[in-house]
């Protein structure tokens, strides 16, 4: 038995890692929106907050009607109730990671959870 899982991500429009890595505490996806494209729906969550990291390109996210500009290197956390939709800029694609975890579930982190 091993204590790790490994996978590779291709240039698919969306890759969900929960099955590929056997995740038990988070959902992580890698997403690519082509230039001028958007996620085709507005959504919120019941329990999970989402953390988005922009890996390449630029665009925007509309959260509860407020437009937030995004570019490579930006990170944004959205609470479960926030209604959101992502858009790539007209002139370039946007590649981003989405980390979905249960809101208020983090008890320990970094060195407080480490066994040294």
Q: Are 33 and 40 in contact (CB under 8 A)?
A: no
Kindly indicate the confidence band of residue 111, based on its pLDDT and cuts at 50, 70 and 90: confident
Quote the pLDDT of residue 110: 86
Segment 17-45, tens digit of pLDDT: 999 999 999 999 999 999 999 999 999 99
Other C-beta atoms lying within 10 Å of the C-beta of residue 104: 8
Domain boundaries, the chain: 14-103
Structure tokens at 1: 């038995």
Residue that wins the pLDDT comparison between 112 and 46: 46
Output the six-digit token pair for 14.
């969306």
List of residues 6+ apart from 92 with CB closer than 8 A: 35, 57, 58
Identify the CATH class of 14-103. mainly beta
pLDDT of residue 115: 86
> pLDDT tens-digit profile of 35-93?
999 999 999 999 999 999 999 999 999 999 999 999 999 999 999 999 999 999 999 99
């Amino acid at each position: 038995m091993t204590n790790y899982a490994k996978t590779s991500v291709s240039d698919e429009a969306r890759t969900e890692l929960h099955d590929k890595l056997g995740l038990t505490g988070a959902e992580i996806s890698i997403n690519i929106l082509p230039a001028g494209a958007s996620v085709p729906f507005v959504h919120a969550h019941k329990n999970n907050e989402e953390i988005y990291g922009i890996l390449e390109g630029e665009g925007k996210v509309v959260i509860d009607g407020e437009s937030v500009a995004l570019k490579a290197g930006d990170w944004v956390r959205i609470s479960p109730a926030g209604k959101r939709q992502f858009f790539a800029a007209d002139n370039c694609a946007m590649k981003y990671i989405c980390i979905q975890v249960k809101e208020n579930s983090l008890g320990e982190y970094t060195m407080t959870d480490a066994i040294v």
